[in-house]
Amino acid sequence: MRDLGPRQQRNLVLIALLLFLGSLLFTPQPSTANGTSGTASCTRTSLALWNGSGTSTTGSVNPCVSGAMLDLTFPFNSTTQATINGVALIGCGQTVKDAAGDTISPAGGMCHVAFNSFLVTNENAAVLKTNGWTGAAPSPSYNLSINPSGNFTIGGNNVLTDLWVDGNSTLSINDGSLCALASYIELTSSSSAPCTTTISKYGQCYQGIKTLFVKVCAPGMLQFLGLNNFPIAGMDLKIYYLATHNGSGGPPGGSSVQLPNTTITVS
């Protein structure tokens, strides 16, 4: 066989090493896909699901809730950025435990709210993010962010979305009559339901989620106002758990979470 020059010999050995490394990379090895580490004995919380009528529930889920808060936000904009056909405040002061068995205690209390046909229709700055773990080594802290650019769906047409959120979450609505009605009822109501935030901005209004849902979302109120849906101009939902379903706790048809042109990043 002919002799090779020093450079060719180096390349030859390099190729041989790459072949070997390549084989290691793609060679079958004991897999972690079916690992049995961890535990299934985490604390579960039974959570009833809205059936789309009043504040009634039908069916339930029994998840092991992580305890990390996921913040779904998009900034206030005068144009409608999301729509919800129906909403319900099932109740606040709910007890939801995290996976370790500790009760999750958000600043505004734990509220169960539910949406019908939740669609984000005109938004490019939304983000769903968490800094779920800030513990010490050996477990690293982490940030997880989900950034859809454009319209996205967490629910969709005829899908119910149940959320357990911090009562200090906010929705901003950009319909004057809805805002005025909310303010009027709030001022005149003798209800002991807690009110949180009401902030005027650019002629629109922010409503603390408890206020909004308690004061405005009575059945038939949207029709009374001549609206087909809640026109949402901004939101800050501090979510601990969310489930999409068909109204009886079963899976809805189609894609109930649609995240087009979306980047998910861990850091």
Partner 1 sequence: MDERRGTRWGRASVPIGLGLVSIGAALTAISHQVVALDFTVENNNANGEPTRFASSAIYAQNVGFGMTTAKLQSGTTVPVLRAGFATARLDGLCVSRQETIGPLTVTLTLRSGDGNLASNPSSGTTWPDIAANNATFDLRQIRGMQQSGQASNGINLNGLDEIGISTQDIQTTPGLTNPLAGPSAANWVGISGTSATFYSVKGYLYDAAISGNIALPKLSITTGTGGGGQCWSDMTTTTDLPQ
49: Cβ–Cβ under 8 A, 6 or more apart, which residues? 57, 58, 59, 60, 61, 114, 160, 162, 243, 245, 248, 249
Nearest to 165 by CA among 88, 113, 90: 113
Q: How many residues bind partner 1 (CB under 8 A)?
A: 88
- Piece in contact with partner 1 (CB under 8 A), picked from 32-40, 77-85, 106-114, 188-196: 32-40
Q: Which of 7, 28, 187, 192 contacts partner 1 by CB under 8 A?
A: 28
Q: How far is CA 126 from CA 120, 158, 200, 236, 255, in A?
A: 9, 22, 22, 10, 19
Chain centroid to CA 188: 33
Residues 183-222 touching partner 1, rule: CB under 8 A, are: none
Which two three-digit tokens encode residue 85? 């056909």
Q: Residue 103 or residue 189: which is nearer to partner 1 going by CB?
A: 103
Q: Which of 50, 57, 65, 216 contacts partner 1 by CB under 8 A?
A: 65
Say how far apart CA 150 and CA 147 lie, in whole Å: 9
Q: Which of 20, 184, 202, 224 contacts partner 1 by CB under 8 A?
A: 20
Which two three-digit tokens encode residue 170? 């906010």
Q: Which of 31, 95, 192, 223 contacts partner 1 by CB under 8 A?
A: 31
Residues 78-107 touching partner 1, rule: CB under 8 A, are: 98-100, 102
Residues 127-146 touching partner 1, rule: CB under 8 A, are: 128, 130, 132-133, 135, 137-142, 144
Q: How far is the CB of 42 from partner 1 (least distance, A)?
A: 6
Q: If binding is defined by CB under 8 A, does position 35 make contact with partner 1?
A: yes
Q: Are 72 and 232 in contact, with CB atoms under 8 Å apart? A: no
Site string for partner 1, 232-261 (x = CB under 8 A): -------xxxxxxx---xxxx-xxxxxxxx
Residue position matching structure tokens 């109120």: 221
Q: If binding is defined by CB under 8 A, does position 29 make contact with partner 1?
A: yes
